[in-house]
Structure 1
């Protein structure tokens, strides 16, 4: 059996369990739905999740406020990571604003909404093409120097962009689209993260619907008495020691299904069969 390590030290020192939780899908508006979201976030922590991913863009701050309501004061060892960069225009349209002043304001607002003095892992949601990369990364570096940020991550970057950013400041994490059936584009980025010991958080760790329809995945699931979703997550954990999947859900049943995938051991044969999938099957 292939049994991957269960923890990873982000930035070399911040230890989390590798299978995390993405909070993007949690409803924040209707009272009943919000209550269920709070219950789910608390249940994730009860199940041993120590990495929860949110972002300003998820409800334009509402998701951060929800997690604070559910979990603050945060249990020891729990990392709530958020992302900045996207912004709403006065007309209600979203775009990117990587100007240093805008990023600084977003970080200050995130600190307030999350009820913390320091964001242990802050990720830049997207690079703003209209602002020099050095200005964007430099602003995050300055925020780290001031103690408002502990570690810096990036999202949706190329190897070249990662290298350019690393020349300015240490990068602790990368969050790119990646899953068992959609991995060609960002495999080089994953390899760069492996070489540098950088955490890689796939932001679409599951191919919705596709895993259930893939005969190779369903065959492995049947052999293990597991679900295709669990197989897809177990493959991620086995594929690279720097991968930290953050599957999201709004239902308790799916949360428990996802978390249980951390205990699923793939045989070398099963892993090899899954490795051969390239998104064209």
Structure 2
């Protein structure tokens, strides 16, 4: 559930790895995006950063007009390279407003159902960044607001300014630095979208052993552990492979025993 009002399936899809350059790889990427929806995925995650808008454009080419149950989540707040400047965080209000307008245009939407601040710009007050997104929500351009790679303190401050529907932090079976943020999201009923939910949680050891016991893959074991770890977790594994896509979505049917869960818990 996103924001307590938008039901979504427990496994989403991260579109970051989809190739966007014209050619056979892009054609396959469109097939993967369409197959994700066919398999029942109802949340797809993208960002302005992914190809500087090309990823958003690809999803529109693949899926527009969108099924009513599909939520496209995108992110703003990173400026592309320009002249001698590398890509950089940019949370200036005018920049965020421009990126939201560009996202609406590329995704062919009148409203972004979930707009996440990709990173907090340390050079701009958080209140200005989140307040800008609140104003865009009030103007009807955004339905719900999320944050990415934030601390508990930043989440707490943001929630004094506007309702926060989601947090997208790196988190997986072997990387649990953001456990305090997950606990805060669980207590508040805020959706937690772990990015990189599988790697580096596979590649031997206990996940492989449990995969052999269950007849699943190690990636499915890692995803099943996440799903059981907190009711607000909504993993967004990304892939450009139809096979891996189907495996990821099928992880919702894998049920770990209490012993298997305890063994995985101990890997922290």
Contact 1:233 1:261 in 2 (8 A): yes
2:140 maps to 1:147:
yes
- Hey, what does 2:80 align to over in structure 1? 88
- Hey, what does 1:200 align to over in structure 2? 192
2:91 maps to 1:98:
yes
DSSP 3-state at the match of 1:16: coil
2:22 maps to 1:27:
no
- Hey, what does 1:249 align to over in structure 2? 239
Would you identify which runs of 4 or more consecutive aligned residues in structure 1 move more than 3 Å? none
Q: Distance in 2 between matches of 1:39 and 1:116?
A: 21
Deviations 1:218-258 (A, max 9, x none): 11111100110000000000100000000000111111111
How far apart are residue 275 of structure 1 and its match?
0.8
How far apart are residue 89 of structure 1 and its match?
3.7
Contact 1:100 1:135 in 2 (8 A): yes
2:119 maps to 1:129:
no
Contact 1:118 1:148 in 2 (8 A): yes
Contact 1:205 1:233 in 2 (8 A): yes
How far apart are residue 190 of structure 1 and its match?
0.1
Q: Distance in 1 between matches of 2:81 and 2:253?
A: 44
2:49 maps to 1:65:
no
User: Mind listing any 5+ residue stretches in structure 1 that lack a counterpart?
Assistant: 1-8
How far apart are residue 277 of structure 1 and its match?
0.8
Deviations 1:155-203 (A, max 9, x none): 00000000000000000000000000111x1000000000100000001
The Cα RMSD (Å) is: 0.8
Q: Distance in 1 between matches of 2:230 and 2:203?
A: 23
2:102 maps to 1:112:
no
Q: Distance in 1 between matches of 2:117 and 2:106?
A: 17
DSSP 3-state at the match of 2:67: coil
Question: Which of 175, 178, 195 is the equivalent residue of 2:171?
Answer: 178
Aligned length: 267
- Hey, what does 1:5 align to over in structure 2? none
Between 1:103-112 and 1:258-267, the stretch displaced more is: 258-267
User: Mind listing any 5+ residue stretches in structure 2 that lack a counterpart?
Assistant: none
- Hey, what does 1:225 align to over in structure 2? 215
- Hey, what does 2:202 align to over in structure 1? 211
Tell me the TM-score normalized by structure 1.
Answer: 0.94
